[in-house]
Amino acid sequence: MSGQTPSAVLDIRNLVKSFGALRATDGVSLQVRPGEIHALIGPNGAGKTTLVAQLSGQLRPDEGEIVFMGRTINEVSAHERVGLGMVRSFQITRLFKSFSVIDNVALAVQSRQPQRGSIWRSVAKDQAIYEKAADLLREVGLFNRADQLAPALSHGEQRVLELALALATEPKLLLLDEPMAGTGPEESQRIVELIESLRRDKHMAILLVEHDMDAVFRLADRISVLVNGALIASGTPEEIRHDEQVRAAYLGDEVIS
């Protein structure tokens, strides 16, 4: 897990974040390369969400560096990171509940337009934005729900819409924080296929934080294992599967047999 690949989309170097005596992030280093799905796994309370929050700019790390596309972004604000192309999704579904499905996506598309916050441009005349939003909804299979209010969707559909929002901002790196959280088998299958298509068709770099081991081992090119804030292993799914330390600390024999 050493060796800084200059071509890495995301390069995390020795990141530390403490809350009082608790080192929630304890010297974490990892890279996400172009077109790669790098999965981050770990038991509850391992510090995954804290790490994602530092990457997306909600929390500031105490030490270390976050390098995105060759630029250190420790001091860059959350919204500016999105502008650079680093976009996150949320573990708890956070949709705009008073917007319809297509208006949710249209807002996300809007964030990439010139004059995105103009007071003089009526959204009713934003044909191009709505066409893009409609295309995206077709892509993820939510087009038939376009005019429903977001809370009217099923939980699985809400998870898909959550992903669609992130996609609409044209990310170079996606931070997916437990995209399968709370979904049933069929729904998580749908999301796995969606994430696969992102790598295949868009060559998108993805940092995937996930609890669903089936999904992780199916999707990931590389896996890092976080325990008590520190990485205890990093490697291909095959290596992680056979890593004694990982087996002992986290996975348990039956899960990965």
Binding site for other proteins (CB under 8 A): 56, 58, 77-80, 82-83, 87-88, 90, 94-103, 106-108, 110-113, 115-124, 126-127, 130-131, 134, 146-149, 151-152, 165, 169
> Is 21 or 124 the residue whose CB approaches other proteins more closely?
124
Q: Is the C-alpha dihedral spanning 48, 54, 60, 66 positive or negative? A: positive
**Shortest distance (Å) from residue 91 CB to other proteins:** 12
Q: How far is the CB of 209 from other proteins (least distance, A)?
A: 15
Give whichever of 97 and 200 is closer to other proteins, judged by the CB atom.
97
Smallest gap from Cβ 95 to other proteins, in A, equals 7
Nearest to 156 by CA among 196, 115, 194, 208: 194
Burial of 248 (0-12, 13-18, 19+ CB in 10 A): exposed
Q: Cα dist. 12→16, 28, 107, 153, 235 in Å?
A: 10, 7, 30, 36, 16
Smallest gap from residue 20 Cβ to other proteins (A): 23
Nearest approach, Cβ of 210 to other proteins (angstroms)? 19
Residue 5 vs 98, nearer CB to other proteins: 98
| Rg of the Cα atoms in the chain | 19
Among the listed residues 69, 72, 71, the one whose alpha carbon sits nearest the alpha carbon of residue 34: 69
With contact defined as beta carbons under 8 Å apart, do 25 and 17 qualify?
A: yes
Is the CB of 50 or the CB of 56 nearer to other proteins? 56
Least distance CB 50 / other proteins (angstroms): 15
Residue closer to other proteins (CB basis): 120 or 244 = 120
**Cβ closer to other proteins: 102 or 223?**
102
DSSP-derived 3-state class of residue 116: coil
Residues 194, 198, 204: CA angle, nearest 5 degrees: 150
Number of residues in the chain:
257
Amino acid in the structure at residue 11: D
